Chain A
Amino acid sequence: MKILCNGETLELAAGIRVADYLSQLGLDASSVVVECDGKILTREEYGSHALQDGSVLELIRFVGGG
């Protein structure tokens, strides 16, 4: 299935959970916030929330800024 993550189209295994995708990327779940189809997910939801074909995912984190 295809999803749009941070503006990039990606091919992922059907039904992959957010937590599994984050660990594939090597991302510490506590360092990012996930918005899926316009809705912010709580950290507790990462393990259960399955991505769908066409899901729009935003992975956001704190960066340096003024």
Chain B
Amino acid sequence: MLTIAGRKFRSRLFGGTGKFSSPEIMKEALAASGCEMVTVALRRVDLNNPADDIMRVLDRERYLFLPNTSGARDAGEAIRLARLARASGGGEWLKLEVTPDPRTLLPDPIETLKATEELVKEGFKVLPYINADPILALRLQDAGAVAVMPLGSPIGTNQGVLTRFQIEIIIAQAQVPVIVDAGLGAPSHVAEAMEMGADAVLVNTAIAVAGDPVRMARAFAMAVEAGRIAYEAGLGAVRKDAAPSSPEDGLGFLR
């Protein structure tokens, strides 16, 4: 069973709560996904529509909230968002995101490390969203991150695991859980990440914008489980030349 910072998770699929067409569909899709931890963001209350509260449908007993610092462009903004999340009753868990470039939404490694160092001191359980950089992953682990979240491909792009080589190194080296996050657009993508030995995956866009988000959530849950079982069962080695599956002996009668 997956353990992060002493907490056990039966499901290795974590869900996002953005981009759903309605709170009711989000609730149903999250239930179908089987996930136990969900990300949430922090934004200003819309003063023209203060009753609009997507969180009213989420059962805090059922889901552990993982507030993110999305929108932060540097360590200072991320730390401010983290403190607001804790004050909102978000607990100590935090998905640390520092994305200064709106075009790529790629994370700033230096600001992410700075913010991790400070937030760990303040008692947060920090899960930093990072580019798939094995050295950075180790630096964040040393700084006290409870997991690392390398990206498969840029947020919201559905391009799958484009960072396979680097994620394999991160998985081989990390002592903390590795959660592949971002860009996982199809069940086959999460199956690939799990077959590689990722401890978990986080999916938001691919489920939220699917034609049928509830069925898609189920498909992702099955793929995560299949990928994990395959990893535990031990995949066969990849080789260049063909190797016959049928016996090579016993063909003497043909020639």
Which chain B residue shows the least CB distance to A8? B47
Chain B residue contacts of A42, Cβ below 8 A: 87
Minimal Cβ-Cβ distance residue in B for A27 = B50
* Extra A-B contacts (11), CB below 8 Å, given A31-B53, A40-B83, A63-B54: A26-B51, A32-B45, A33-B42, A35-B84, A60-B45, A62-B42, A62-B67, A63-B43, A64-B18, A64-B41, A65-B204
Q: Is residue B40 contacting chain A, with contact meaning CB distance below 8 A?
A: yes
Indicate if the CB atoms of B70 and A32 lie closer than 8 Å.
Answer: no
Chain B residue at minimum C-beta to C-beta distance from A61: B45
Is there a chain B Cβ closer than 8 Å to A6's Cβ?
yes
Contact with B along A11-52 (1 / 0, CB 8 A): 000000000000001111011110100001010000000000
Residues of A within 8 A of B45 (CB): 6, 25, 27, 32, 59-61
Which single member of A8, A31, A33 contacts B55 (CB below 8 Å)? A31
Most buried by B among A27, A33, A58: A33
Q: Which of B162-182 touch A at CB < 8 Å?
A: none
* Docked-complex contact B40 and A65, CB < 8 angstroms: yes
Report if B141 contacts A (CB, 8 A).
no
Are A65 and B70 in contact (CB-based, < 8 A)? yes
Question: Considering the complex of A and B, which 5 residue pairs feature the smallest CB-CB distances, nearest first?
Answer: A65-B41, A66-B204, A66-B16, A64-B17, A33-B88
Query: How far, in Å, is A33 (CB) from chain B's closest CB?
Result: 4
Partner of A25, one of B39, B47, B90: B47
Are the CB atoms of B44 and A58 closer together than 8 Å?
yes
Asked whether A32 lies within 8 Å of B88 as measured between CB atoms, the reply is yes
Task: Tell whether, in the assembled complex, residue A25 and residue B16 are in contact, meaning their CB atoms are under 8 Å apart.
Answer: no
Quick check: is B191 within 8 A (CB to CB) of the other chain?
Answer: no
In contact, A60 and B39 (Cβ under 8 angstroms) = no
CB distance from A2 to the nearest CB of B (A): 15
Quick one: which of A5, A6, A8, A33 contacts B84, CB cutoff 8 A? A33
**Which residues of B are at the interface with A, using a C-beta cutoff of 8 A?**
16-20, 26, 39-45, 47, 50-51, 53-56, 65, 67-68, 70, 83-85, 87-90, 155-156, 202, 204-205
A side interface size, CB within 8 A? 24
B43 contact set on A, CB distance < 8 A: 60-61, 63
Among B19, B50, B65, B83, contact of A62 (Cβ-Cβ < 8 Å): B65
Contacting pair A62 B41 (CB below 8 A): yes
Q: Select B18's contact among A8, A27, A30, A66, beta carbons within 8 Å.
A: A66
Interface contact A62-B55, CB-CB below 8 Å: yes
Are B155 and A66 touching (Cβ within 8 A)?
yes
- B88: shortest Cβ distance to chain A, in Å? 4
- A-B residue pairs in contact (CB < 8 Å), sample of 21: A6-B44, A7-B44, A8-B47, A26-B50, A28-B53, A33-B87, A35-B84, A59-B45, A59-B47, A60-B42, A60-B44, A60-B45, A61-B55, A62-B40, A62-B41, A62-B65, A63-B40, A63-B54, A63-B55, A66-B16, A66-B39
Q: Which residues of A contact B67 (CB under 8 A)?
A: 62
Q: How far is the CB of A45 from chain B (nearest CB, A)?
A: 11
